[in-house]
Structure 1
Amino acid sequence: MDKIAVKLSPRTVTGKKTRFLRRAGVTPCHVFGHNLASQTLQAATADLERVVAQAGSTRLVALQEEGEKKPRMAFIREVQRTPVGGGLFHVDFYQVNMNEPITAEIPLRLVGEAPALKTKGRILVHPMAHVEVESLPGDLPASITVDISVLNELHDAIHVRDLKVEAEVTILSDPDQLIAKVSEITVKAEEVTTAPVAATAPGAEGAAPAEAAAPAAAEAK
């Protein structure tokens, strides 16, 4: 996997004046971490956009700070964007100790085709998008692959306990949590309510009384 790196330089402009940095194609950054005071830095916006797209929140980024020979390893902790246009506004990096385990939320990536879905009226249910894991920073996977081609029958399911990861990675999420399952599509029938027809009382308006036919019958005689 290619190394992701970005060049950072010290930042002296703070507060509202940072808008001038952004206009010049520079984005403000902060770097913090365990036993590390927050550092105010900056980087070229174009470089940061590339790093954010490649690294997400689960891949290590080598921070090459101006004046430092050795890069520091960090994860992207937060990316802020402008409400209008979605341009980069601010990026936070979290520096890690490569020899200390960390916990992280790793995205699940569904691959393959489930044979059970070839039958009409079925759907794939996948309530989980991430799992929590623990490992050394260098062993942290960018994502975990879930092969749904093992779902052959209706109600077949994949749980956290079925995930395959490297020995250096420990999954912390509940092993019984559901990741993917084939279910039937259920359509709830609408209840149709029919209003009862009210009986019309004899003699009521619009009804012909039974006695009305009697005189005519008498005259016919």
Structure 2
Amino acid sequence: MAEVVLKAEERKEKAKKVRQQGFIPGVLYGSGEEAASVKFEAAALTKILAKHGSNAKLWVELNNKKKFGFIKEVQKHPVAGNVIHIDVQMVAQDQEIKLQIPISYTGTEELDKRRLLLLITKPEVEVVGKASLMPNVVVVDVANKEAGDTITYLDLNLDGTIKINDPEDEIYAVIKEKKEQVADIEEEAKETEEAAETSPEE
């Protein structure tokens, strides 16, 4: 797999000015060094996030030196939704880390053909393993699932070197019939309406 490299520059300006210049402010920390305020080219960072996800493993190039790490936190504007700040944790490649990995589902179009819905109850799985072996995303195929099936750790197909840190009975998603989902929504609406009618007037 090709290395993912993100170039960084030291930052002394305030975050607002950095963004106006086409950069995204960030912080590098870890590996026994002091946290460093940096900035990344917005276009390059956005491309990496789109392709590799918000927990991407990457090499950060700063002052002609490359260090390994992963994106720890992505902050987005609450209204516009654009990235406004990121934290990158620098680690040794063989260092054991704990990480939340997003789960991506394929085969949902097959469920739709059979009037089935995928209801996600937990979008990420917490794992422990060596930093260099961490996947950016866990992919689960639900094409052959039936109504009532659940997605558990057995469906995640992670490499044996990566340990799932969630409880064994954790449910990440449920397959339901569409009419069943509609009935649930109607029942919730009815309960809300009844509660409103019986609540005392102020």
SS state at 1:3 partner: coil
**What residue ranges of structure 2 are gaps of 5+ in the alignment?**
192-202
After superposition, the C-alpha distances for 1:94-130 in whole angstroms (9 at most, x for unaligned) are 111211111111111222259777555x544332211
1:158 aligns with 2:151: yes
The question of whether the paired residues in 2 share the 8 Å contact of 1:117 and 1:123 is answered with yes
Question: Bigger radius of gyration, 1 or 2?
Answer: 1
Letter in 2 for 1:178: I
- Residue aligning to 2:120: 126
After superposition, the C-alpha distances for 1:146-189 in whole angstroms (9 at most, x for unaligned) are 2223324x423332233311121111112222233333444368
**What residue ranges of structure 1 are gaps of 5+ in the alignment?**
192-221
Higher percent of residues as strand? 2
CA–CA separation in structure 2 for the residues paired with 1:96 and 1:41: 17
CA–CA separation in structure 1 for the residues paired with 2:144 and 2:81: 40
Counting only pairs closer than 5 Å after superposition, residues 134-145 of structure 1 correspond to structure 2 as 134-145=128-139
Letter in 2 for 1:47: A
The CA RMSD over aligned residues, in Å, is 3.0
CA 126–3 in structure 1, closer or farther in 2 if over 3 Å, else same: same
1:149 aligns with 2:146: no
1:101 aligns with 2:96: yes
- Residue aligning to 1:170: 163
Aligned pairs, number: 184
Normalising by the residue count of structure 2, what TM-score does the alignment of the two structures yield?
A: 0.74
SS state at 1:149 partner: coil
CA–CA separation in structure 1 for the residues paired with 2:113 and 2:15: 55
- Percent identical across equivalent pairs? 24
1:75 is aligned, of 57, 70, 80, to: 70
Normalising by the residue count of structure 1, what TM-score does the alignment of the two structures yield?
A: 0.69
The question of whether the paired residues in 2 share the 8 Å contact of 1:144 and 1:165 is answered with yes
